[in-house]
Amino acid sequence: MSSISSATNQKLKKKKTGWERLKQQELAAWQPIFSPRGISPLFLVFGVLLIPLGVLIFTMSKNIQELKFDYTDCLNSNGDKCSDIVQKMTGESCSCIINFQLEEPMKGKIRLYYALSNFYQNHREYVASRDDDQLLGKIGTSTPISPSSDCDPFGIAPNGKIYFPCGAIANSMFNDTYTMFRHLNDGSKTEVRMIRTGIAWESDKKHKFKNPDLFLDINNTKFWDKFVQPRDWGKSLWDLDKVDANNNGLQNEDLIVWMRVSALPNFRKLHRFIDMASLGSNGEMPKGSYSFEIQYNYEVASFEGTKTLILTEQAFFGGRNVILGIILMSVGSFVLLLGLILLLLSFKRRTTWSRGSKISRDYGTQGTTTVRRSKIA
């Protein structure tokens, strides 16, 4: 050690404010030491943290009842494949029925999802193909505002009318409809009513979608002079919900849910809640046999997609996800195992491993603590 610096050091040691110490780079600091001894507690803690979480999520997911019905290739009453009928584009309707047995009663807020696969809602051009202004009802007062070019080729119809709503997303809106029945023991069936609202994000409803003021009157011929329903829609915008005016038109929640594009090509979207009141039971869906009557409108066969109907309970930790639980458990046990091995090592081969770095040994810390106060001399 040079005598200069040590001498100066001695001299300066007395009156050091925080700022002075910062300037002299002598702030007190912690130094993590990555010796087995130092890191094994960390690993143990993480292991102990992750494993229960994993177990929790795993068991919770396991306990969630989730019924999936892939009805892509379902048959109608004539025994024809609905997919074929739809693909012919004849406008002919096809309906099929799925019967199922509920072994355990379902509790809580029971949701009905539809799931599509191989549907690239996240394709860039698809994602972009919308006009947010139009969806907010900004379509002009006397003369209609042309839709954004993002909507092309679903912006303006060949006959010059404006698609309303425009864009590929809106055009491809999912339009299968489901009716649910409960089959009682006496052979009669009662419809299980479903709640159509509350499925979309509140913020979307509030900020993103608004029916135009001017053309509220759905029978206004002037409106349909200028606008036209999207090409692949079977019905008009104003027929989305004929009962609830607030859920109709652009403010229809099915539309809003659809318009929030999915991240992955296999996705499920929330469709309905089961109206427990219609079941007449105390907050649960009793076991028994049920059926779905499906109005099969949506074509997926052409792009090798599938359609699935999912009836599920909701858990505290979001939806059913066994994989996450497994990941958590495996990572947790790996970490725990590592922690134990390191702990063992730190006892067994202290001399070579726990040195951490030679320097720390020189300091006499021996790597016994995770962190050390490395106050500069």
Partner 1 sequence: MIAFDLLQWPWIRSLCPCCPFSKGKDDLGRSRLRRIYIGSVPVLGDDDAPEDMGGRGSVGSSEAPPSHNSQRRKSRLDRISSQSFSDMDYNPGLTTKVENPVIPVRRQSIMAGDLRIPPKNVFPNNEVTSSRYTLLSFFPKNIYEQFRRIVNFYFLVVAIIQSVTSSPVSPVTSIAPLAFVVIVTMIKQGYEDWLRHKADNLFNNRPVKVIRDGVIELIHSRDVKVGDIVKLEGEEQVPTDIVLLGSSDEFQRCLLNTANLDGETSLRMRYVPAGLPHFRDESDFLTLDLIVECEEACEDLYRFNGNILIPPELPRQNSSLGTIFETVTSDPAVDPQSVVPPTEAPPLSFCHALQFSHPPQQHDTTTHKATPPQAVPEVKFTPSTTGKQRRIGIAEFNMIFLGMENVILRGTKVKNTDFIYGVVVYTGPDTRLARNSKQTAPKFSTVEKTVNKYLYAFILILLVLVITATLLSLLVNWVGVNGENPWYLEKTEEQTTWGYYFQTFSSFLILFNYIIPISLYVTMEMQKFIGSKFFVWDEEMSTEAGEPPLCNTSDLNEELGQIEYLFSDKTGTLTENVMKTRMFSVDGRIYEVDDAPGPTGSGGRVAGLFVRDEEDQSKRSFVSITPEEDALLDFCRVLALCHSIQIMPKRRPSVESGNPTGFDLFLKRRKKKISSKVKNANSLFAIGAKKGGDDVPAALQLLGGNWEFQGSSPDEKALVETCVQLNVCYDGEKEEFMSVNVCGQEERYKRHMMFEFDADRKCMSVIVENEAGDIWIMTKGAETSIIPRCDTGPIQLVNKHVLTFAMMGYRTLVIARRRLTRAELDVYLGRLRAARRLVENRDEVMKHIYRDVESHLEILGATGVEDQLQEGVVETLHSLGAAGIRVWVLTGDKVETATAVAYSCGLMTSFSKQLVVTKFTENEAGTLTERLRQFDAEMAPDDNTVLIMDGETMEIALRYCPEDLCSVAMKSFRVVCCRMTPLQKSQVVKMVKDTPSKPVTAAVGDGANDVAMIQEAHIGIGIIGKEGRQAARCADFALARFGFLQKAILVHGHWYYVRLANLANYFFYKNIIFVIPQVLYCFSSGFSTQPLFDSIFLMMYNIFYTAFPILIYGLMEQPHSSRTLQEHAYLYKDITSNRLMTPTVFLKWLIFAIWHAFVCYYTALYAWPAFHPLHDISTFGTLVFSGIVAVANMKLAVETVHISWIYIFSHVVSYLAYFTFSAVYSEVDLTFVWIDPKQFRSVFFTLMAVPVFWVVMVLVTSTAIIPDIIWKGVEGSWTSVTKFFRSFPKRIKWGRGKGQGDDEGKGGWPSLRQFAPFSASTRKQNGTENGMSNDTLNSYL
Q: Which of residues 294-323 bind partner 1 (CB under 8 A)?
A: 299, 302-303, 316-321, 323
Q: What is the closest distance, in whole angstroms, from the C-beta atom of residue 245 to partner 1 in the complex?
A: 25
CA distance 339 to 39: 8
Question: Which amino acid is present at 294?
Answer: I
Tell me which of 69, 114, 119, 223 binds partner 1, using CB under 8 A.
Answer: 119
Size of interface with partner 1, in residues (CB under 8 A): 100
CA distance 7 to 10: 5
Q: What is the closest distance, in whole angstroms, from the C-beta atom of residue 284 to partner 1 in the complex?
A: 20
| Rg (the chain; Cα; Å) | 32
What x/- string results for residues 330 through 359 when contact with partner 1 is judged by CB under 8 A? -x--xx--x---x---------xx-xxxxx
Give the footprint of partner 1 on residues 120-179 (CB under 8 A).
120, 122-127, 132, 152-154, 168, 171-172
Q: What is the closest distance, in whole angstroms, from the C-beta atom of residue 16 to partner 1 in the complex?
A: 10
3-class DSSP state for residue 58? helix
Give the footprint of partner 1 on residues 243-262 (CB under 8 A).
260-262
CB-facing half-sphere around the CA of 360: CA atoms within 13 A: 24
Query: For partner 1, which is the closer residue by CB, 176 or 223?
Result: 176
Instruction: Tell me, letter by letter, the H, E, C secondary structure of 106-175.
Output: EECCCEEEEEECCCCCCCHHHHHCCCHHHHCCCCCCCCCCCCCHHHCCCCECCCCCEECCCCHHHHCCCC
Q: What is the closest distance, in whole angstroms, from the C-beta atom of residue 362 to partner 1 in the complex?
A: 7
Q: Are 258 and 192 in contact (CB under 8 A)?
A: no
Cis bond upstream, residue 52 (ω within 30): no
Strands 288-296 and 194-195: unpaired
Tell me which of 224, 267, 275, 295 binds partner 1, using CB under 8 A.
Answer: 267
Give the footprint of partner 1 on residues 50-89 (CB under 8 A).
50, 53, 57, 61
Give the footprint of partner 1 on residues 194-213 (CB under 8 A).
199, 201-204, 207-208
CA distance 244 to 253: 11
Query: For partner 1, which is the closer residue by CB, 197 or 374?
Result: 374
- Among the listed ranges 31-39, 158-166, 240-248, 288-296, the one in contact with partner 1 (CB under 8 A) is 31-39
